[in-house]
Amino acid sequence: MTKALISIDYTVDFVADEGRLTAGAAAQAIESDLTKLTKKAYDDGHVIVFAIDGHEKEDIYHPESRLFPPHNLLGSSGRKLYGQLDQLYQDIKDDQRVLWLDKRYYSAFAGTSLDARLRERGIRSLILTGVLTDICVLHTAIDAYHLGYQLEIPKSAVATLSEARQKWALEHFQTVLGATILD
């Protein structure tokens, strides 16, 4: 069965030290594993989806504007994929199995064509990677669960703002969403 790996928000704004909403060292520490896992999934013939947050500058109506500083602004360098993952994307982006998905909300499914695009390709199993584990990765996982997808979460390819939040999210994936946590 073909799977899809969804790489969520692994961008400069969420990962780099100078990022506008960075998870910093924790997010930087997963760069190598996340990139290797993405490359392996691509080499194994899986669909690769880059689900990337995109916000308009000074959008006072978006609910995140009251919770977080402006981040991943459309047209900004903050939306660029971080580090090695950006180079991998540049190498594979012209393949029809590679999709770039702009998202506006936490979940990669909310207000996007992701579910339809996955179903067109016969995908029923997802590997979720990226940041932040307890926000965008979690909300994507919850929506995927409700849509009937099987979930795999590689522990070494997700990160968030604190170890406590990371631990809680990984436990939630497993015990509430039935996800397989990969070491």
pLDDT in tens, 11-68: 999 999 999 889 999 999 999 999 999 999 999 999 999 999 988 787 777 777 777 7
- For residue 70, what pLDDT band results from cuts at 50, 70 and 90? confident
- Which CATH architecture describes the domain 4-182? 3-Layer(aba) Sandwich (3.40)
The radius of gyration of the chain's CA atoms, rounded to the nearest angstrom, is 15
State residue 57's pLDDT score. Answer: 84
What three-state secondary structure class fits 145? helix
Residue 31's Cβ-count burial label (10 Å; 0-12, 13-18, 19+) is middle
Tokens representing 134 are 């307890």
**Cα–Cα distance measured from residue 63 to residue 129, given in angstroms and rounded to the nearest whole number:** 24
Mean pLDDT, rounded, of the chain: 95
Which residue reads 């880059």 in tokens?
50
Share of the chain above pLDDT 90, in %: 86
Question: Distance of CA 11 to CAs 2, 64, 137, Å?
Answer: 26, 17, 14
Phi-psi region of 128 (alpha: psi -120 to 50; beta: other; left: phi over 0): beta
In the prediction, which pLDDT does 35 show? 98
Range from 39-53, 70-84, 156-170 carrying the lowest mean pLDDT: 70-84
Axis-axis angle for helices 83-92, 31-43 (nearest 10): 20
Who has greater pLDDT, 104 or 58?
Answer: 104
**CA pair distance 138, 72, nearest whole angstrom:** 18
Angle at CA of residue 73, ends 105 and 78, nearest 5°:
110
AA letter at 45: G
pTM here is: 0.95
